[in-house]
Amino acid sequence: MDFARLTEELKAQNWRSADAETLQLLLKMSDRTAEGWLNKTDVEKLDCAALVQIDRLWIERSKNQFGFSQQRLIWLSAGGNVGQYNPKIAEKFGDRVGWRDRGKWLTYNKLNFSHQAPKGHLPAATGNGVSGSVWGGVAAISKRLQSCRPVELAIARQEYYANCSDRSRDRRCLLKKAAERWGETPDWGGKGIAKLFDELERELSQRQWIEADKITRILLDRYRQANLAEFKDSDSMKVIPCYLLKPVDDLWMEYSQGRFGLTAQSEVLFDRKIFPMPKARPDFPTATATNTVLGWNKLPDADPDSNHIHKPYSPAFNAVDPQRIPKGFYPYDMGYSYYTYGSGYNGEWRFYLNPACGFNPSS
């Protein structure tokens, strides 16, 4: 599959031409160019590697403004299920992405082919409501994209380790084999990475914040544990790769309407002048202030008769509207040293994430 034209159109921000090329690529991979539309079976059989690449090009060139994955998150947050077209959900979706105006669907020619369009506005040639080119529209494409998650993660992982050779001494490359010994591939802690992402998304969609937080720790902490065990490096949070941190953050941000996630935490810490960090390691007042502004100090104290040495979760911070919980409170579980560090809750974990991922900038 040749993505050169799509890449060029997206790079030049020729959004309408890129939208048309996207549909042509999907038709071509399904051998449906003559028909000009995709049926249910066609969508279910779309090549995962090609679909993921198309989506990534849209995401990267639009700086997360457009793409199938953005549309999938919006469809879900509107109350929809992937693979299930629902007219009422489609209307909610259309209102959010700007495909509808004043209760009516826009024609394709009336769409906003600029970067100022609402998030998820494009691609539109594959959407229902404004186009009939894909059976089931966003719901159908979203289901196929979700089923392609293992391929998407494999591609991202391959790129992360692209320059690693058997002789490489780079810590990232050395950790690859260590992480594999700890069960990163093909199975991660008894559950595949892709399956854990599905579980995380399910819990988030139901506002089961506590369970989602625990799954987040399982997803991310294997890298930290492997690094600590293999290399005895206490500064081990930095090796959690961006290809895991970023999609985890995207899910938290979407389902909490921007209240939870690493990005939400960064926003709070910037607002309270805690970020950017002037030092490599936070001092005690900084760590204390972090616990306060993120709401971590609001948790009840641990039962003195309990063997657990971390603070328990508060039921008030679960299954409720995100607005009722301090912004940036989740993810929280990574600081449970009962599971990770070994001695009480350590809020400093938030300062030691992989600096290349942009979640903990320093001055």
Residues 195 and 344 in one domain: yes
* DSSP label at residue 165: -
**Which residues fall within 8 angstroms of residue 286, CB to CB, at 6 or more apart?**
274, 277
Amino acid identity at 174: L
CA distance to 54, 70, 193, 338, per residue, from 66 (Å): 11, 6, 25, 40
Q: Are residues 200 and 131 in the same domain?
A: no
Q: What are the start-end ranges of the H helices in 62-135?
A: 68-77, 87-97
Number of domains in the chain: 2
Q: Which residues are within 8 A (CB) of 174 and not within 5 positions of it... i.e. 6 or more apart?
A: 168, 230, 231
At residue 203's C-alpha, the angle toward residues 121 and 44, to 5°, is 50
Residues 272 and 219 grouped into a single domain: yes
Alpha helices in the chain (DSSP H): 4-11, 15-29, 40-44, 48-61, 68-77, 87-97, 137-147, 149-160, 171-181, 193-205, 209-231, 242-255, 262-271, 284-293
**85: CATH:** 1.10.10.1770
Which residue type is seen at 41? T
Average pLDDT score, the chain: 84
For 252, phi and psi rounded to 5 degrees?
Answer: -60, -45
Q: Which two tokens stand for residue 254?
A: 């979407």
Give the residue numbers spanning the domain of 200: 168-357
Token digits of residue 232: 């005895």
> Based on the domain organization, do 17 and 84 belong to the same domain?
yes
Can you state the percent helix, strand and coil of the chain, rounding each to 5?
55, 5, 45
Residues 6+ apart with CB under 8 A from 159: 243
Convert the pLDDT of each residue in 40-99 to its tens digit: 899 999 999 999 999 999 999 999 899 999 999 888 878 888 889 999 999 999 999 999
Query: Which of 91, 118, 147 is the last residue in one of the domains?
Result: 147
The model's pLDDT over 231-247, given as tens digits with 9 standing for 90+, comes to 776 556 777 888 889 88
Neighbouring CB atoms inside 10 A of 167's CB total: 6
Domain match, 140 and 186 both: no
pLDDT tens series, the chain, 363 aa = 899 999 999 999 999 999 999 999 999 999 999 999 999 899 999 999 999 999 999 999 999 899 999 999 888 878 888 889 999 999 999 999 999 999 999 999 999 999 999 999 999 988 766 667 888 889 999 999 988 887 888 788 888 888 887 777 777 777 777 777 766 654 444 457 778 888 999 999 899 999 999 999 888 877 777 777 777 765 567 778 888 898 899 889 888 988 999 989 998 998 988 887 666 667 778 878 888 999 988 876 645 444 444 567 888 999 999 999 999 999 988 876 434 444 455 667 788 787 778 887 654
Domain membership of residue 231 (yes or no) is yes
pTM of the model: 0.73
In a domain, 159, yes or no: no
